[in-house]
Amino acid sequence: MLQAAQLRVVDEERVHVRPKCLRGRPRALLAFLLLSILASPAQQKTGPTASFDSARKVFRLDGANVTYAMGVNAHGELQSLYWGDRLAATDALPAPRIVSFADEMNDGPQEYSGWGGGTLDEPALKATFPDGNRDLVLHYASHAIDGDELRVTLRDISRDVYVTLKYRMDSATGVLARSAVIENRTADKLMLEQAEAANWNLPASTDYSLRYLAGRWGGEFQLQTQSIQPGSVVLESRRGSTGHQSSPWFAIARGPATETEGSVWFGALGWSGSWRITVGQDPMQQVRITGGFNPFDFGYQLKPGESLQTPVFYGGFSSTGFGGASRQMHRYELTNILPQAPHPPLRPVLYNSWEATKFDVDEKGQEQLAEKAASIGVERFVMDDGWFGQRKDDHAGLGDWYVNPEKFPHGLAPLIAQVHALGMDFGLWVEPEMVNPDSDLYRKHPDWVINFPGRPRSESRNQLILNLARPEVRAYVFGVLDQLLNENDISFLKWDLNRVWAEPGWPEVAPDEQKKLYVQYIDNYYSILQDLRKKHPRLEIESCSGGGGRVDLGVLHYVDEVWPSDNTDPFDRLSIQDGFTYAYTPSVMMAWVTDSPNWYNQRVTSLSYRFLSSMQGSLGIGANLNKWSAEDLAVAKEMIATYKSVRGVVQQGSLYRLVSPRGNSEMSATESVAEDKSTAVAFVFLHSQQMRYPARRVFLEGLDRNAIYKIRPIYGHLLDHEPTAASGAYWMGNGLSVILNGDYDAAGFIFERVARP
């Protein structure tokens, strides 16, 4: 995996913990004394968030309202001690205990367990050695604290297999980033069959419930809830990419947590390949979450001296319910994950041609759309599929990234010049990992695709997957994109991926190296994104995968936004967007206003409804503007101008999900509040009119209770007697009465602070 630059080690401790069989009391005492001496106060440098209590052998990470702690027991095992609400600096956590596996004791769950030595939990690491031995028992070896990063190195009790656990606590949000590096320092190769990023252990209890995101193409990010019972729940993708079916995110509440109250632990995995998160409760009520590379069909050989970096698993804790958990995650993504973090620029309003023209793009048609787009205030014009090779439909062309000479006789230059002249920047759709068998590339390099020799090559959307793990394929993909960007003034790529893996073979390498495909492919995908950005610093990228099939904290390091779903129906989008925001910031959530009836489900909605639904994220237009009336274009112009005035709040403010669109709810509402509480934006949607009420009452959150806020409609009305200005306390306590009339009516309001207390 790609790694951030290695940091200088400023505080390192190294203790040789001997195998259990060699240890007697005097040796344990000696080791303990040595540890204490090495960790004398002078050497105990504590970074802002990480510290080590050498007397008790306890590591502690504190950030925002969160404390995380673990410790080394007398056997040398690293045990999880605490994860939750921030503890007092003076709180001494109980020293880690010796655990008897025979008793199934649960008061000493391991922080990162090897499969061996009687482990009963879901292990983090499983290996097979060439002699057939599969026993791996990891004990503390050393640690280092460098600013915010803590690294704890474990070693197998007899073999030179080292695991360095990395922890980085974010002091602003309390989100902890965890990962592991597994290193083979033995003289022989070994095969890793399971390599997780982290085990997370919750305080033992029975009253836990799990929330996760499941779905399908056109119905991504559907929030699911179930109680946690003895046994395991497996969330995963075995498809080579993140997937529409499940998103690598979880939230676990203890007791009756709500949107605003209660204890919630949450986490998200940064990996865009096959992944797995298991949530298990053992017979002793220990709840443990384990996540990383999906161990299904996994096999990563490490030769002597080689190492494997796992994905990063991010975790946090909120004592203010699911809303608080999401806001912490959003803030973390904006300040720590996105390519331009900690200050990602606001997303421009874009136009995309896909729903208007499908594959039928040409210079004249695109220029016409660009003119209309510019006239309503669009800032970025994106030409979607159909511009390259012999691409007339989805049967041909993928792989041949030259501009189609019939559709664009003078290349892309005239269109781009026109887009620029209209005051917009230009973006282009690509799907670089794919090839149609009907393409020059496939005819030349049929061996470049993922395949098992002699077996059928399953096609999906008439396409096969290039084996990006191969250096020559990686070079080709980088080369064509680099050339495209060198030859044309392109500010934005929409990078699509329209199928999942099948027959995942890599016949060119030795059989025991072939499963490295699962890791090497994704590493190369990330490295292409990174290298393109480095070479073309103005470039922005959207991750799309037939909708929301590649949204995760791994790809979000390299892309500025994502496409959540091909389902652009503004009503269906309410629940897709609701689920999305549990894990991901609205800043990256691209949402187009498209035509009505919607292509996906034929639902008819008003233009204002469509705008209000899309304005909750990063606004785009995906309609055939040639069909819009002058009145539609005027409404759009006004809506876009208003959106621009509040997009900072929507994209980077604090999101409050006021009323959920899930279940049989008749209505739903969201609110975004600026970080300094000066502005708030509320969106309210009526789903289906039942027993008409005079108005719907919506209670705001997150305002400055003593300040005065003036209300300004984006669209819609309040009941007549409502004030036009009132205190934050009023809008939160008394609420506002929004007139909504008929199915799919909607309203939006802006609250501006006019006076401070």
Which residues sit at the interface with ligand DGJ, rule CB under 6 A?
A: 354, 384-385, 429, 496, 498, 544, 546-547, 563, 566
Minimum Å gap between C-beta 427 and ligand DGJ is 12
Rounded to a whole number of angstroms, the minimum distance from the CB of residue 241 to ligand DGJ is 13
74: Cβ–Cβ under 8 A, 6 or more apart, which residues?
28, 32, 98
Farthest CA pair distance, the chain: 88
> What tokens does 325 get?
């958990």
Specify the pairing of strand 561-562 against strand 540-543.
parallel
Residue with tokens 């187009």: 592
Nearer to ligand DGJ, 363 or 496 (CB): 496
- Catalytic residue (one of 496, 560, 572, 745): 496
* CB of 685 vs ligand DGJ, minimal distance in Å: 24
Helix 517-535 with 471-487: angle, nearest 10 deg: 20
CA distances from 691 to 318, 609, 658, 699 (A): 38, 21, 22, 21
Neighbour tally for 189: CB within 10 Å:
14
The least distance separating ligand DGJ from the CB of residue 546, rounded to whole angstroms, comes to 5
* Residue 362 is a catalytic residue: no
Judged by beta carbon, residue 333 or residue 566, the one nearer ligand DGJ is 566
Q: For tokens 């980033």, name the residue.
A: 177
Closest by Cα among 34, 342, 310, 91 to 181: 310
User: In the bound complex, what is the minimum distance in angstroms from residue 513's beta carbon to ligand DGJ?
Assistant: 33
- Give the nearest distance from C-beta 552 to ligand DGJ in angstroms: 16
222 has which bridge partners? 214
Closer residue to ligand DGJ (CB): 122 or 385 = 385
Q: What is the DSSP letter of 333?
A: I
For residue 162, what is the DSSP state? E
Give the span between the Cα atoms of 757 and 562, in whole angstroms: 40
- Positive or negative CA dihedral for 314, 553, 527, 299? positive
Nearest approach in angstroms of CB 412 to ligand DGJ is 17
User: Shortest approach of ligand DGJ to residue 544 CB, angstroms?
Assistant: 5
Pick the catalytic residue: 146, 560, 566, 569?
A: 566
Tokens 């017979």 found at: 283
Nearest distance in Å: CB 244, ligand DGJ: 11
Distance in Å, CB of 586 to ligand DGJ, minimum: 19
- The phi, psi pair for 171, rounded to 5°, reads -70, -20
Can you name the residues that pair with 195 across neighbouring β-strands?
Answer: 125
Distance CA 672, CA 464 (A): 42
CB of 336 to ligand DGJ, least distance (A): 27
51 vs 498, beta carbon nearer ligand DGJ? 498
**461 or 538: CB nearest ligand DGJ:** 461
Residue 654, φ and ψ in degrees, nearest 5: -100, 130
**HSE toward the beta carbon, residue 112, CA cutoff 13 A:** 30
* Amino acid at the residue 54: S
Q: Which two tokens stand for residue 66?
A: 């969160």
Residues 6+ apart with CB under 8 A from 106: 204, 282, 284, 285, 286
Coil, strand, or helix at residue 561?
strand
Residues across the chain:
757
Give the residue with the Cβ less far from ligand DGJ, 99 or 623. Answer: 623
CB-nearer residue toward ligand DGJ: 66 or 398: 398
* Residue 405 CB contacts under 8 Å (≥ 6 apart), including other chains: none
Measured at the alpha carbon of residue 724, what is the angle toward residues 722 and 726, in degrees to the nearest 5?
A: 90
Nearer to ligand DGJ, 356 or 419 (CB): 356
Q: What are phi and psi of 314, to 5 degrees?
A: -100, 140
Q: Which is nearer to ligand DGJ, 436 or 575 (CB)?
A: 436
Nearer Cβ to ligand DGJ, position 393 or 472? 393
Nearest Cα neighbor of 426 from 376, 474, 374, 496 is: 374
Check: CB of residue 196 under 8 Å from CB of residue 310: yes
Q: Which residue is nearest to ligand DGJ (CB)?
A: 385
Choose between 123 and 547: whose C-beta lies nearer to ligand DGJ: 547
Q: What residues contact 715, with CB distance under 8 A and at least 6 apart? A: 608, 611, 612, 639, 746, 747, 748
* 568 CA to centre of own chain: 21
Closer to ligand DGJ by Cβ: residue 115 or 354: 354
Would residue 121 show up in a list of annotated catalytic residues for this protein? no
B/e letters for 545-572, b = 16+ CB within 10 Å, e = fewer, are bbbbbbbbbbbbbbbbbbbbbbbbbbbb
Torsion of Cα atoms, 525 then 530 then 531 then 537, to 10°: 140
Nearer to ligand DGJ, 316 or 620 (CB): 620
**Nearest residue to 586 via CA among 702, 671, 526:** 671
291 pairs with which residues across the strands? 198, 277
Q: How far apart are CA 596 and CA 21, in angstroms?
A: 73
Place of tokens 């101008």: 641
Catalytic residues: 496, 566
